[in-house]
Amino acid sequence: MGDAQIKVIVKYGAQNINVEVPATGKVEDLMQQLQLHTQLLPRLQKLICKGKVLKGDMSLKTAQLTDGAKVMLMAAQGFQPRFPTKQSSLPSKQAHSTATLTLSLDETRVKAWKLTGIVSLRDSSLQKVPAAVWSIGLSVRVLDLGGNSLLELPLEVGSLTNLQRLQINGNGLKDGTISWQGLSSLSQLMMLTVDNNLLTVLPPEIGKLSALKSLNISNNKLTCLPEELGNLLQLEKLDLSHNCLSAVPSNLGRCIQLVEINLSANQLTTIPTTFGQLRSLKIFLLDNNALNDFPAEVLQGCLELTTLSIHWNQLTMDDLRKVDGWMGFEQRRKDKVNKQLEFKVSSSSSGFDEGADTEKWHHW
């Protein structure tokens, strides 16, 4: 028989996290479990129980943690908390009637859609896309369905053959509710926004969107990505932050038009060396992962890279300085800052906050 388990209730911000650990274990075992829930590395965790700060090498018995014990978790100063399965930003289907919600559309509004090619139905409490949208399919260039409670994006989306921009973010859409077969036929689609939904899988059909320049699938529950993502050769901006990714496809290095990549708040331990082929890459965001190293090929090959953010990883500032290609990146970063100052261009603090954090959580 295995070790007896005890349940510890951890308060993290407004959330209560229930964690089970071996009764004979150590506080560091609890910290490892909490990392899975919060993506907060053990070295960035501060655990407090009964007014006492718990150290990782303490046994649970010494820490007086028994079954049902309550612990408070605090993050290192400056860390942006990520709470478990944040649902508050997603529409609540329970808030609506079980009957399919529809929108009252007058003829004037539909004519305006046809004339401008822009269909805006954001925050309209929709569970179903109005049939009027499909009826003017060839006229639609922009379709905004964000912030609704859509039950599905049906196959009919494929009839919008001139669609260039589609937003279906914040709908709570799950796997199987989006017709990727319909989407894959949109040969002119340049921007797709699917953030703040409940997707765990991105199907291979995504690779058929050959004209795509901007793809945002942040704040979902993706655990893996298809190799076909590397077929998006026109892609310039990719946001996959706040998912559950432990790896990214190496053939993303084929997307040589990429200018900005956001992979923050995932579970990545390494970055493919093929990313060094991204000659146009300027912004690379990797905060809040579990990176142990960083490929020299990226610093050496991405000669346009001037913004690199790797805070809250296992990788420290000292580690990054030892990577081949660091001096070239550092010079480019300084040249960018000096140019901004020369032309008196005001920039946000994030523009000067690029790199990995030190053990003391200071920026250089």
Q: Domain boundaries in the chain?
A: 5-75, 106-356
Chain-centroid distance, C-alpha 76? 21
- For residue 110, the SS3 value is helix
Position 336 scores a pLDDT of 82
Q: Taking residues 3-32, what's their average pLDDT?
A: 87
Of residues 317 and 238, more confidently modeled: 238
Sheet architecture: strand order including 260-262: 118-120, 142-144, 165-167, 191-193, 214-216, 237-239, 260-262, 283-285, 307-310, 355-356
The CATH fold assigned to 5-75 is Ubiquitin-like (UB roll) (3.10.20)
Predicted TM-score of the model (pTM) = 0.73
Residue 263 CB coordination number (10 Å): 23
Confidence of residue 40 (pLDDT cuts 50, 70, 90): confident
Q: Which of 36-50, 53-67, 290-304 holds the top average pLDDT?
A: 290-304
CATH number of the domain located at residue range(s) 106-356 in this protein: 3.80.10.10
Choose between 225 and 346: higher pLDDT: 225
Task: Indicate the range of 230-244, 249-263, 331-345 predicted with least confidence.
Answer: 331-345
Q: Which residues contact 7 (CB under 8 A, 6 or more apart)?
A: 18, 19, 20, 67, 68
- 72-81, 144-153, 306-315: the lowest-pLDDT one: 72-81
Instruction: Please state the φ and ψ torsions of residue 182, each to the nearest 5 degrees.
Output: -65, -45
pLDDT bin (cut points 50, 70, 90) of residue 2 is low
Position 77 confidence tier, pLDDT thresholds 50, 70, 90:
low
**pLDDT exceeds 60 at position 95:** no
- Residues 192-204 have pLDDT tens digits of 999 999 999 999 9
CA angle 157, 162, 165 (to 5 degrees): 75
